[in-house]
Amino acid sequence: MKKTLALAVTVALSTTFAGADQLVIKGSDTLGAKLVPQLAEAYKAENPNTQFNIAAEGSSTGFAALIDQTANIGMASRRAKPTEISAALAKGLDLRPTIVAWDGIAVIVNGSNPIPALTKKQVEQIFTGDIKDWSAVGGAPGKISIYTRNTASGTYADFKELAMSKRDYAGSSQKMAGNEQIVSEVAKNPAGIGYVGLAYLKASGIKVLAVDGKKPDQADVRNKSYPYSRPTFYYTNGSPAGETKAFVDFTLSPRGQKIVEQVGFVPVQ
Amino acid sequence: MKKSTLTTLALAGALVFGGAASSQAQDSGALLDALVRKKVLTSQEAEDVRADLIKESAATNAGKLQLSNSITSLKLYGDVRLRYQYDNKDPQIETPLAGSNYLFSTNDNSTLSALTTANSNKSPWATDAKGFVIATGDVKNAAGKVVYHKGDRLLASNGDPIKGQINPATTGVGAPANGAQRNRERIRLRLAADFQLAGGFFGGVQLQTTQAADSGNQSFGDSSTGAAGFGNYNIYISRAYVGWNANDWLTLVGGKQPNPFYTTDLVWDADINPDGFVEKVDLIKLFGGNGSEVVSYSQDGKQLSSVSTIRSESAYELSLVAGQFVFNDNAEDSFGSGFKTDAWLFNTQLVGSVKVTPGVKVTLAPGYMTYTSGNTTDLNNETAFMTTKSGATVLTNYQYSAVSKNGVLVPVAATRDLSIITAPGDVSFKLCGLKAKVLWDFAYNTQGAQRVEEVYGLQNIQVPVKNASGVVTGYQSAKGTVKPTTRISTTRVSGHESQDDIAWLAGIQLGENKKAGDWSVMANFRQTGLGSVDPNLNDSDFALGQLNMQGVKTGLAYNFTDFCVGAVTYYSAWNLRDDLIGGQATGGQKIASMNGVQILQLDLNVKF
């Protein structure tokens, strides 16, 4: 009973805030850890009455919040699954995507790792556990430590599809809550390997590997010649309106796209 | 306006090239990407189209189906078969054995079976010139009181005299004295799913009517299964297995699975899905060649399987298939050695084939199968051979035990003394533009003599002696020839002959049944020696699964539509030996008690 009451209050407050000056934005850690907070700050500078409530716990949580109608915008680093679209339709909702930036999932290793590049096949073999030792890909002998995102993450699903032929991750892989945790662990572990979005490559102690000869720079991500390129999204219920539309428009505006680039993503335009 | 038009065109294009939105939304991604690359659409417009397609797909019935993310492909299929079956059985009854019972083909068997004989070496009854049953001596009732004197007519309970024929009986009083006919209208339902999973894993499940391992047929109105009075049917799990393609040459499978062997129904009824473990090794690929995947085999097409034949485009194939199956799990703390041991079946086969010319292919599949010696109980096969009746745990008489040649009582294990070399094969070719096949099978039980004498208990055989007209005039045993109506005391002589150890089949097939208008014909001849194969595995249709039989199987099938096949199949079988008496052959579980069996099956099979 208490739980039901709490939920009702939460939904009511969220709806109230959403209907007034508060934007509730939930979902992707890739977008929500850096980019969206900076966009929100910039937007607030011009619209001081607008309050933001941002929760970045993975793309799945963004879709769930949209379907539960507890968020105005769902941040996503992947497309909505048919199951999520079905669930939304069942509630009379229409999940609409807006591409807000392009991202490349970079494969990173510890800065001391001598390996400069991998092939797509090697990446798949490493993350699925077929290859367990660095010596198998030309590195110094030693067991490979794999760091991945957790299952709520859109990047987790995207990487599985883009890089692993939809195979399962190695049983030994360690699941991290966010990109920054992966960067931190790989920077500390000479045998570590992981993947993160472009916005997280400026950290020290890590090295970005070329994949099939391509590194995730802006040009290769935008023209999709980098193999792990992907769009990132705002999802809304139908076409955005009101304050939500204003924030989406701001994100796609030259000023917003400049912030996109500054954070490390690739602008849409 | 321009963008809107382009978006509409792109959506239409995606629908046209990608197929119906309900099933193809996911496949339109490549087309949309191409349109973006050619700058027909912006990325956002492509994303809008993609979202619309998925939304439309999700709104359809198909889109509401949710599958596990681990499934990479799923195939659902099944069939319903309607069958009319006519059986004509001619049981073997010339079987005088030790005991006090005689078989009476009269109008009142119950009266007779309540009486005992006054003369232990002679039937107490005879038929007089007028057809009435009369006593040949004093006949006592169960209390020992003389109720009939010599020459008295036997009276039924209502006082009328009984007419009928007197014959020596098997140990089981009441066996039919004449042929028996039976008509059945039957149905078989099978529902199956094959799935592929990530990482080379795969599996399948199948549900079907009836529990019998060798038949999925449910007779309409069958009171024994509760179907009388329009009762509903049970459904059973006939397959549940998982497998793993470890690499391109090794496949491992565990569970209740399709028969993995290249075989015919001489040895394996095609309805049987064995329980256990299978390893398949593609020897060509193992040693670096370009081999083919060996999945499952069925020469007669009875197996419901999406992959039922060798699949290959290469000229040579060579695979090793090994199976370890749990035939009967026994509790290790049970009484009797046979009950302590699980009955495992081990079967290994080398399957090789070569394309002699582009249109001619030869396949050979030598193999070896053997069991651990275990007892079997509660089998549901149509002609089951078991060691004990359900629930029995004590060895009581010869039906459940055997006497070895030195006179020592030993427990019988139903899976004992089966050590069988098999050698099926075929030559497939084109004849007048039709697919044709000459096929054969061969099985030799190297322990056939022990199987016949010790497991089936044929030490007490008495060979009928016939005159020139074929009339039985007496029975030959170790004690000499005796008259038909004389009961012979237990005398141990060997009942085994070398032909008991061998089974073989040779046949032809012409045509195939894949699409509307297709037809096929087939015919084969076989002999199945008493000790040659396991009666729990062989075809339950030919001679109703009986051993010691020979005969023909012929069939014609026609595709009315791609999915609907009509078929006529006729079996005619008769005794391989006509001198088997007693033991489990004509007594006990009667695994070889038929003089002849004819079966006609009319099928209408609808696949979906």
Residues B222-234: tens digit of each pLDDT: 988 889 999 999 9
Under DSSP, the state recorded for B478 is: T
| Residue B381 lies inside a defined structural domain of this protein | yes
User: CB neighbours (10 Å) of residue B447?
Assistant: 17
Looking at the structure, tell me whether residues B205 and B56 fall in a common domain.
no
- Please count the structural domains in chain A: 2
- Per-residue pLDDT, A177: 86
Q: Are B64 and A86 in contact (CB under 8 A)?
A: yes
| Residue B49 lies inside a defined structural domain of this protein | yes
SS3 B561: coil
Looking at the structure, tell me whether residues B284 and B398 fall in a common domain.
yes
| Residue A223 lies inside a defined structural domain of this protein | no
- Per-residue pLDDT, B289: 67
Give exposure, B473-500, as e/b (b: 16+ Cβ within 10 Å): ebbbbeeeebebbebbeeeeeebbbebb
| Residue A15 lies inside a defined structural domain of this protein | yes
Phi, psi of B25 (to 5 degrees): -55, -40
SS3 B206: strand
Looking at the structure, tell me whether residues B135 and B13 fall in a common domain.
no
Q: Are A266 and A221 in contact (CB under 8 A)?
A: yes
* Radius of gyration for the alpha carbons in chain A, expressed in angstroms and rounded: 19
Looking at the structure, tell me whether residues B136 and B38 fall in a common domain.
no
- Per-residue pLDDT, A59: 92
Looking at the structure, tell me whether residues B390 and B518 fall in a common domain.
yes
Looking at the structure, tell me whether residues A89 and A29 fall in a common domain.
yes
Beta bridge partners of A22: A51
Distance CA B249, CA B264 (A): 25
User: CB neighbours (10 Å) of residue A116?
Assistant: 12
| Residue B476 lies inside a defined structural domain of this protein | no
Looking at the structure, tell me whether residues B301 and B346 fall in a common domain.
yes
Looking at the structure, tell me whether residues A84 and A28 fall in a common domain.
yes
Phi, psi of B572 (to 5 degrees): -135, 120
Residues A71-94: tens digit of each pLDDT: 999 999 999 988 888 889 888 999
Looking at the structure, tell me whether residues A161 and A94 fall in a common domain.
no
- Per-residue pLDDT, B460: 47
User: What is the DSSP track for B159-199?
Assistant: SPBPBEEEEE--SSTT--SS-EEEEEEEEEEEEEEEEEEGG
Residue of B nearest to A167 (CA): B198
Give exposure, B152-190, as e/b (b: 16+ Cβ within 10 Å): eebbbeeeebbbbebbbbbbbeebebeeeeeeeebbbbb
pLDDT tier for residue B322 given thresholds of 50, 70 and 90: very high
Does the pLDDT value for residue B314 go beyond 80?
Answer: no
Looking at the structure, tell me whether residues B280 and B205 fall in a common domain.
yes
Question: In percent, how much of chain B has pLDDT > 90?
Answer: 42
Does the pLDDT value for residue B291 go beyond 60?
Answer: no
Instruction: List the single residue in B47, B64, B72 with the smallest CB-CB distance to A86.
Output: B64
Looking at the structure, tell me whether residues B192 and B280 fall in a common domain.
yes
Q: Which residues of B touch A (CB under 8 A)?
A: 25-26, 33, 43-44, 47-48, 50-51, 54-55, 57-59, 63-64, 66, 70, 72, 198-199
B43 contacts in A (CB within 8 Å)?
99, 231, 268
Does the pLDDT value for residue B114 go beyond 60?
Answer: no
Identify residue B86 by its one-letter amino acid code: Y
Full residue range of the structural domain in which residue B449 is found: 78-89+181-459+494-607
pLDDT tier for residue B16 given thresholds of 50, 70 and 90: very low
Distance CA B533, CA B272 (A): 15
The top-scoring range by mean pLDDT among B16-25, B78-87, B170-179 is B78-87
Looking at the structure, tell me whether residues A176 and A243 fall in a common domain.
no
- Please count the structural domains in chain B: 3
The H-or-E segment that residue B42 falls in is none
Structure token pair of residue B37? 């690359």
Residue of A nearest to B69 (CA): A166
User: Quick one: average pLDDT of A203-209?
Assistant: 93
User: CB neighbours (10 Å) of residue B20?
Assistant: 12
Phi, psi of B577 (to 5 degrees): -120, 145
Scanning the structure block, which residue is given the tokens 């006990």?
B588
Looking at the structure, tell me whether residues B119 and B188 fall in a common domain.
no
The top-scoring range by mean pLDDT among B281-295, B448-462, B535-549 is B535-549
Looking at the structure, tell me whether residues B271 and B347 fall in a common domain.
yes
Q: Are B242 and B251 in contact (CB under 8 A)?
A: no
Distance CA B145, CA A66 (A): 95
From residue B6, how far is each of A133, B3, B24, B54, B108 by CA, in Å?
Answer: 51, 5, 20, 19, 92
Looking at the structure, tell me whether residues B38 and B157 fall in a common domain.
no
Residue B527: CATH number of its domain: 2.40.160.10
SS3 A136: helix
- Per-residue pLDDT, B142: 57
Please check whether residue A21 touches B, CB under 8 A: no
Choosing from A215, A240, A255, the residue where a domain stops is: A215
More confident residue, B498 or B107: B498
Distance CA B143, CA B328 (A): 44
| Residue A221 lies inside a defined structural domain of this protein | no
Beta bridge partners of B507: B439, B524
Residue of B nearest to A95 (CA): B51
Instruction: List the single residue in A83, A99, A167 with the smallest CB-CB distance to B47.
Output: A99
Please check whether residue A80 touches B, CB under 8 A: yes
- Per-residue pLDDT, A262: 92
More confident residue, A199 or B296: A199
Residue A29: CATH number of its domain: 3.40.190.10
Looking at the structure, tell me whether residues A159 and A86 fall in a common domain.
no
User: Quick one: average pLDDT of A8-30?
Assistant: 64
Scanning the structure block, which residue is given the tokens 């007490």?
B460
Chain A, 94 to 113: residues with Cβ < 8 Å from chain B are 94-99
Looking at the structure, tell me whether residues B357 and B241 fall in a common domain.
yes
B57 contacts in A (CB within 8 Å)?
82
More confident residue, B490 or B68: B68
Looking at the structure, tell me whether residues A150 and A211 fall in a common domain.
yes
Choosing from B115, B140, B168, the residue where a domain stops is: B168
Structure token pair of residue A166? 């939809």
Scanning the structure block, which residue is given the tokens 């070895």?
B404
Q: Which is it for the CA torsion A101, A107, A112, A115, positive or negative?
A: negative
- Per-residue pLDDT, B304: 46
Full residue range of the structural domain in which residue A8 is found: 2-103+232-263
Looking at the structure, tell me whether residues A111 and A209 fall in a common domain.
yes
Does the pLDDT value for residue B169 go beyond 60?
Answer: no
SS3 B28: helix
- Per-residue pLDDT, B518: 95
| Residue A227 lies inside a defined structural domain of this protein | no
Looking at the structure, tell me whether residues A129 and A161 fall in a common domain.
yes
